[in-house]
Structure 1
Amino acid sequence: MGAKYGTGVLKQEIVKIYNSINQEIFGIGIKSQRIEVVGDKVFIFATHKRIPALKILDADHRSLTASVDMLLMEANKRMLKEQLERQLGLEVLSVFKDYDPKTEHSGTIIVFAESVDA
C-alpha cells in the first residue's frame, strides 16, 4: 500500500487504525502523535491520556499497574498487527511498543515484510 497509495495515505490509514484500537482498549483518545515511515518500518510517537484508575493506583501499587500496562500493550500490539494486515493487506512481521506512564509517552515500531515507503 505504501508504494501503491503513497506514504501520506498510508500514514493516515495507520493513524486511523492506531487511534481506533486505543479508543477500543482504553476508551480514551490519543493527545498527539507523530508518524514516520522508513522503508519497511513505521515509527509512531504518541502522547496518551493515562487511564484515571491506573493513574490513581500508580503511586502505591506500581507493580500491579506495571503488569496491567504490559498486558494492555500486548493486546494493543496484537490488535494493531491483525487490523493492519486485514485492513491494509500488508504483512506485519513485528510490532514493538513501550509506554512511560509518568510522561504518558509511547513509542511503537511496526515492521512490515516489505518496504512501504513510496
Structure 2
Amino acid sequence: MKTRWRFTLGGLLLAALSSAYAEQPLGCVEVTVGGYKAPNYDCLSQQMGNNPEGAAAAQKNQQALNVPVNKRPPNQVGLATPAGTSTRMGNTFGTSVKPQRPAN
C-alpha cells in the first residue's frame, strides 16, 4: 500500500512540475545595466517563431528565390545587357569595338 501511495504522489508531483514548466511567459524581461537596455533575445526569438503565418511566408520566400533560369533577368544569368555594355564601352558604344579609356 505504501509503494502505491508513493507512486501516486510521485506521479502527481511530476504532473505539477511539468505543467509549471509548460507555461510560457507572457512578456519578455528587459534588463537595464548602466543605462543600456539588454532585451532577452531568446524570449523575443520564441515570440517571433510562433507565428502561424510565418511558415507560409517562409515558403513564399523560398519560391521567390527559386525562379527558373529562363524567367530571370539577363544580368542575373550573366548575359550582356545594352545598359551594361553602354556603361562598359563609354562614349564609343556603337561606334568602335574598343572601349573608352581615359587619356594618360
**TM bracket, shorter-chain basis:** under 0.3
Bigger Rg, which one? 2
- TM-score (normalizing by structure 2): 0.23
Larger helix share, 1 or 2: 2
Larger strand share, 1 or 2: 1
- TM-score (normalizing by structure 1): 0.21
